[in-house]
Amino acid sequence: MSRKRKPVTDIQIAICGSAGDGTIAAGDILKRAMARAGYKVIAFDLYPAEIRGFGKCIARTRITANQVYSMKQKSDVLISLDDSHAIPHVDEVCDYGAIIYEDNPMSKVEEGGHISGHAAPAHIPYGIPFREMSERATGSARSRNMVAVGYIAGLYGMPQKIFHEIVTAKFKGKAAVVTTGNIAAFDAGYEAGAATIRLDFGVLESRSRRRGKADLVMMNGNAATVRGCLDAGIETFFGYPITPATSIMEILAAEMPKTGGRLVQTEDEISAVAAAIGAGYTGARSATATSGPGLALMTEMLGLGTIAEVPSVIFVSQRGGPSTGMPTKTEQSDLNLAVFGVAGDGQRIVLAPTNVEGCYKCAGKAFEMAEQYQTPVIVLLDLYLSNRYEAVAFPEKNPFVRKCSKGVSRRGTGSPYSRYAITDDWVSPRAVPGTEGCQHAITGLEHDVFGRPNDQAHVHEMMSRKRHEKLEAAINHPDITISKRFGDRGKVDVGLLGWGSTFGEILEAMFVAQKEGIKCAAMKVVMLSPFPKPAVVPYLDDCAEVLVPELNYEGQFADLVTSATGRPVNRLNRVPGTPMRVDEILAEIRRLADGAKQMAAE
């Protein structure tokens, strides 16, 4: 007789409202409280591109007992703060999931305008007078969002005290009445939720609260990037606001003065990257941040950084394109621009983290690599990863090396300094301006070992080789994951190959496929340039079929893999402006696995 498995916590809650309803704030309090309570949390918010007081906002939070890697396709709970925005998302609620809504609207609702009329028979409706409860608790309807958060917390028996702590911390520095009012609204909702008989099937196991130095921190990709910059010792930052990278500059603007760093908002992206390269030339750890349209403007200056061999770090958070495109939608379509977007053979290092913790590690390691290999380094995020929240445990000890530059040893007089000397590792001793006896020329022109302009054939051949060969060592840079394999070992029917934020959905699909008996593996590639062939080629050899899912129309990573390895791959390209769907990846895995079995049987 088989024993039933104990249900495991895996609840996804979506809060939907209009800009101004406090939707994102409500989601922020929910995810931070549940992370502090000891649960695994991953969250992603959607908001309108327009800077004005209306437009749809959705805050989604997935709460689990075990580690997960992506958002679920369907939510277990939908909370509607604005029915006109929430109604289109009713079909995104799973069967026997809950829909929580305002059941006492202020004015007459037109036919079809109330969400209760759109719920499926399998949905569990909970009608709550959010507005009325907020007015009774605080004298105002403005805290409807807190009533909603309190209701869901009470309904599932979430720890009330921790929510009080999070609310208090969120409104620290504001008038005491703001904090007390929000807590009062939360408690009113909590009391109502706790008194409600819950009919849906979501499970919330009790968890012990995490303590100690390795506490989980609720953070999104951009904030983790900032923490990586600070731990790596960033000294200067030059930026121009652009969605979805702006918050990197905003957080650094608050944090860098505390460590003696300097930040300047420039007049445009060209000025930002020019200043970053200039600061890098002086020996400072310097960076900028942008998105695809800004990176397009930066390409000429990045070519200067490449030929002059000046370290700098550029954080790029991709969004839907081309041109202005879709500023608040996610996409992975700037790979070609990041890897190849430069005049001439201007190779540089490109890293693409796959999760929030990876944003931290890649940010810090980017400064090491920029200095050690004397080159611009691009860290390629996307809107989904920039804005996705995860509960992360950061290392107790700073993992980054502060000085990686190959300096000039004591020199005798009488011989000129060879800034671009050819060495065994192709990296030249680098002197910053003001180093005694190390005067040298530096331009955007091809040059000899002294930096003097020289366009002779043998000089260009030698310097082109130097600029490429020195980067190959980056594939073995210490203490960073360049690529990593997951899943079944040895030969497999289907191997997935992915990069960036989509790798979370790839992992989730792989786990399901394994449970179905499909021999399946997945590899993430974090370094896109130079491409890590020594790791990827043996993996491809193990796979009967290879699937590359990515959020762009052209299959840019698939093209990169094929050009680097000479191996054909299967492509799954989508451009919905939202994260890749796990079920679509899984359907392709099943199709390819069936084909592999048929080929083996013939």
pLDDT of residue 2: 47
What is the pLDDT at residue 410? 62
Domain presence at residue 321: yes
Above 70 in pLDDT, residue 215?
no
Residues 157, 275, single domain; the answer is: no
Asked, for residue 205, whether it belongs to a domain, the answer is no
Shared domain check, 269 and 249: yes
Q: How many domains does the chain have?
A: 3
Half-sphere exposure of 204 (CA within 13 A, CB side): 21
* The domain boundary residue, chosen from 446, 462, 480: 480
- Comparing 27-31, 45-49, 243-247, 337-341, which segment has the lowest mean pLDDT? 45-49
Give the CA-trace dihedral at 404, 406, 409, 412, to 10 degrees: -150
Do both 398 and 521 map to the same domain?
Answer: no
Place 145 in a pLDDT band, splitting at 50, 70 and 90: very high
Q: Which tens digit of pLDDT belongs to each residue from 389-401?
A: 998 889 999 999 9
Residues 6+ apart with CB under 8 A from 130: 81, 102, 144, 147, 148, 151, 189
Single-letter residue type at 346: G
Of the residues 480, 506, 530, the one at which a domain ends = 480
pLDDT the model gives residue 214: 52
* Final residue belonging to a domain, choices 452, 480, 508: 480
Q: Tokens 């000479």 — which residue?
A: 566
3-state SS string for 231-277: HCCCCEEEECCCCCCHHHHHHHHHHHHHHCCEEEECCCHHHHHHHHH
Q: Are residues 183 and 56 in the same domain?
A: yes
In angstroms, the CA 510 to CA 582 distance is 9
What is the average pLDDT across 232-259? 97
Q: Are 22 and 119 within one domain?
A: yes
Which tokens in the block code for residue 447? 């040059």
User: If you average pLDDT over every residue of the chain, what do you get?
Assistant: 93
pLDDT at 201 over 90: no
Do 26 and 100 belong to one domain? yes
Q: How far is CA 436 from CA 410, 411, 433, 439, 452, in A?
A: 10, 9, 9, 8, 19
Residue 209: what pLDDT?
59
390-423 residues labelled b (16+ CB within 10 A) or e (exposed): bbbebeeeebbbeebbeebeeeeeeeebbbbeee
User: Do residues 560 and 335 lie in contact, with contact meaning Cβ atoms separated by under 8 Å?
Assistant: yes
If asked whether residues 326 and 418 sit together in one domain, one would say: yes
- C-alpha span between 225 and 499 (Å, rounded): 17
| Same domain (yes/no): 242, 338 | yes
Same domain, 151 and 299: no
Exposure of 20 by Cβ count < 10 A (0-12 exposed, 13-18 middle, 19+ buried)? middle
Residues 11-44: tens digit of each pLDDT? 999 999 998 899 999 999 999 999 999 899 999 9
Inside any domain, residue 5:
no
Residue 587 lies in a domain: yes
Span 111-117, average pLDDT: 88
What are residue 546's phi and psi, to 5 degrees?
-120, 130
Q: Give the model's confidence band at 593: pLDDT under 50 very low, under 70 low, under 90 confident, else very high.
A: very high
Q: Measure the CA–CA gap between 15 and 123, rounded to whole angstroms.
A: 16
Asked if 181 and 236 sit in the same domain, the reply is no
Q: Say if 219 falls within a structural domain.
A: no
State whether 584 and 467 are in the same domain. Answer: no
Tell me the average pLDDT across 418-443.
Answer: 93
Mean pLDDT over residues 494-513, rounded?
98
Domain containing residue 15: CATH number: 3.40.920.10
Give domain status of residue 207, yes or no.
no
Question: Is 274 a member of any domain?
Answer: yes
Same-domain check for residues 229 and 140: no
Amino acid at 10: D
Residue 541 has pLDDT above 80, yes or no: yes
**Where residue 537 sits, what CATH number does that domain have?**
3.40.50.920
pLDDT computed for residue 475 by the predictor = 97
Hey, what are 548's tokens?
């590359």
211 inside domain: no
Residue 46 pLDDT exceeds 90: no
Asked whether the CA dihedral 528, 532, 537, 538 is positive or negative, the reply is negative
Query: How far are the Cα atoms of 35, 42, 177 from residue 218, in angstroms, in the given order?
Result: 7, 9, 26
**Domain residue limits at 60:** 10-194
Backbone angles phi, psi at 484, to 5 degrees: -155, 140
**What average pLDDT score do residues 435-451 get?**
92
